[in-house]
Each structure stands twice: as structure tokens, then as C-alpha cells.
Amino acid sequence: MTILIGCVFAAGVALTTQSILQRRRPSLVQQVLAYVHPSVNRTRSLVSPHSQSRRVQEWAADVLAVLLGDPHGLEERLRRAGSSESSAQFRLQQVVWGLSGLLAGAACAVVLGTVKDAVRPSTVLVLAAVGLVVGVLARERDLDQAVRRREALMVAEFPAIAEMLALSVAAGEGVAGALSRVVGCSSGPLAGELNEVLVKSTLGDGLVHALRDFGSTTKVRPVARFIDAMVIAMERGTPMAEVMRAQASDVRDLGRRELMESAGRKEIAMMVPVVFLVLPITVVFALFPGFFGLSING
């Protein structure tokens, strides 16, 4: 049993070390082949294509994809997070994170066994399995946090971009020219999404069609409502500047309401240390001299 645990531990160390040392960006040939032959990018390894651990990593990534499932949902989350990785590349990263967690769990078990002068194989296996699961789930949580951070930045950036678009349109510029001007002087995630809309419109999709696709795919509701209002205004010929200003004002009001709600929740949370820490200590300090005097007199 000890020999089996040692072999598994050594294999995990070798795979993790090799993936870290040999990690590099794909060559120009691989990048071109990914567009010429899409099947080449099915499960691209994080390490060199000539690495001996490539097949092991790809097999582990495929097994992980079968266990977790939902590749379309993963692709959507990666897109919302602004990542250029594919679902296969993300699964490979989860494999690396899982191996790192496995090694960390096994190391903790060995350290605990060394302290207690008894290294139990069952403890090593349990902690290694826990570390593996924690590593895989930690990468999922990291992706979810990246999605939330990016969408929060889009909401924070939206009022300023809407105001700039309204000013540009009111000055006489067209919608495409206003979008190009705003994208050129902005650098946030929302500006990047609008830049992709402009690129799609210049490739033949048309500005209205590109805006409608962006509005249907984004999960940020204020931005989706703004894009829908823009499309309706462009199709019906209604004043565009007033629509943009109204949308920006609505988002600012929404931000104020969310800030007030967050302040209310924080106010309740601030009462916890007051009730359970400050108040008991105050009572103890108030009553201790009396009890101390009674004990001396008694």
C-alpha cells in the first residue's frame, strides 16, 4: 500500500512539474492549424505537443469533461469572463489545479503523520482525494468570480459610455461613428464588447444585426436593455440621444439603490461584533469590580 501511494505521489509530482516547466504559448503553425482544421484544437495540452504527459493530460481532461458535463455552459461562462480559452483548455487547467491540490493534500497528510510519528496510508489517500476535489472546484469558482468581476465592471462602466454615446449622437455623428469614438477612448470590458460589435458590423453582419446579437448574448441586464433600446431607436427612427441619456440615468438610479441595500446589509453585519464581542466585554468590566469586592468581603 505504501509503495502504491509513493508511485501515485511521484507521478503527480512529475506531471505537475513537467506542465509548469514546459508551459509555453503555441507556435504560429499551431495557431494557424487551429483555424484551418478546427479538430486540431479539440483538447490542446497546456504543455509542449512533444511532451510525454500530453496524452495523460488529455485523457484526464476528457474524463473531467464527461464528469462535469455542460460544455456549452462552460463556453458561455468563458465568453462572459472575457477569456479566449476553449472548454478543453479550461478542463486541462482544472487537471493541473486538481493535481496541485492532490499533492498539497498528500503533503499535509505526510506532515501530520510525521508529527504524530505514524503515517497512515488511509489518511494520505483521503486528504489527497480531498485536495484533488478542492483543486478542481477551486478553478470553477475562480471562473465564476472572474465572470462576476467582469460584469460588475461592465455595469460600472456603462453610464459613462452611454453619456458619451449620447453626446456624440447629439453632436451629429452616426451610431457607428459614435461607437468608434467611444471605443477609441475607453479601455474597459464593455468597450471591448462594443469593439467586437463594430468588427462584426464591418465584416458584413450590419450594425443592427451585430447589436441585436450582442444584446441577446450578454447577461448584464442594463446593457441588454440599452442595446435593445438602441436597436429599436435605429429601426423606428426615434431620437437616439434621449434614449441613451434615459438608459444611463436608469443605471445610475439602480446603482444608488444597490448601494443603499448593500449599506443596509453591512449595517446589520456590523451589529454582530457589537452584540457578541463589545457588549459582553463591557458587561464583564462593569460587573467584575462588584464580584471581586464581594469575594474579598466574603
Query: In this structure, is residue 266 part of a structural domain?
Result: no
Query: In this structure, is residue 280 part of a structural domain?
Result: no
Q: In terms of domains, do 85 and 108 share one?
A: yes
Q: How far apart are CA 106 and CA 16, in angstroms?
A: 14
Q: In terms of domains, do 49 and 66 share one?
A: yes
Q: In terms of domains, do 202 and 161 share one?
A: yes
CB 103 within 8 A of CB 129: no
Query: In this structure, is residue 197 part of a structural domain?
Result: yes
Q: In terms of domains, do 133 and 161 share one?
A: no
Cell digits of residue 70: 455542460
Q: In terms of domains, do 142 and 161 share one?
A: no
Q: In terms of domains, do 87 and 207 share one?
A: no
Mean pLDDT (whole number) for 28-53: 49
Q: How far apart are CA 168 and CA 164, in angstroms?
A: 6
Q: In terms of domains, do 141 and 162 share one?
A: no
> Which among 253, 271, 293 is the end of a domain?
253
Q: In terms of domains, do 160 and 131 share one?
A: no
> Which among 127, 148, 169 is the end of a domain?
148
Q: Let me know how long the chain is.
A: 298
Q: How far apart are CA 155 and CA 255, in angstroms?
A: 9
Query: In this structure, is residue 284 part of a structural domain?
Result: no
pLDDT band at 184 (very low <50, low <70, confident <90, very high): confident
Query: In this structure, is residue 262 part of a structural domain?
Result: no
Domain of 108 in residue numbering reads as 2-148
Burial of 256 (0-12, 13-18, 19+ CB in 10 A): exposed
* Closest residue by Cα to residue 94 from 40, 133, 39: 133
pLDDT tens for 114-156 read: 777 666 777 888 888 888 889 888 988 998 999 999 988 888 8
**How many domains does one find in the chain?**
2
> Does residue 77 carry a pLDDT above 80?
yes
> Does residue 87 carry a pLDDT above 60?
yes
109-118, 192-201, 231-240, range with the lowest pLDDT: 109-118
Q: Which comes out higher in pLDDT, residue 55 or 23?
A: 55
Q: In terms of domains, do 236 and 170 share one?
A: yes
CB 159 within 8 A of CB 248: yes
Global pTM? 0.66
Q: How far apart are CA 93 and CA 31, in angstroms?
A: 19
Which DSSP string corresponds to 148-213? Answer: HHHHHHHHHHHHHHHHHHHHHHHTT--HHHHHHHHHHT--SHHHHHHHHHHHHIIIII-HHHHHHH
pLDDT at residue 251, rounded to an integer: 78
> Does residue 1 carry a pLDDT above 60?
no
Q: In terms of domains, do 109 and 225 share one?
A: no
CB 88 within 8 A of CB 61: yes
Q: In terms of domains, do 112 and 73 share one?
A: yes
Query: In this structure, is residue 297 part of a structural domain?
Result: no
Query: In this structure, is residue 286 part of a structural domain?
Result: no
Query: In this structure, is residue 282 part of a structural domain?
Result: no
> Which among 148, 165, 196 is the end of a domain?
148
Q: In terms of domains, do 113 and 9 share one?
A: yes
> Does residue 38 carry a pLDDT above 50?
no
pLDDT at residue 22, rounded to an integer: 54
pLDDT at residue 248, rounded to an integer: 77
Q: How far apart are CA 157 and CA 186, in angstroms?
A: 9
Mean pLDDT (whole number) for 188-197: 88
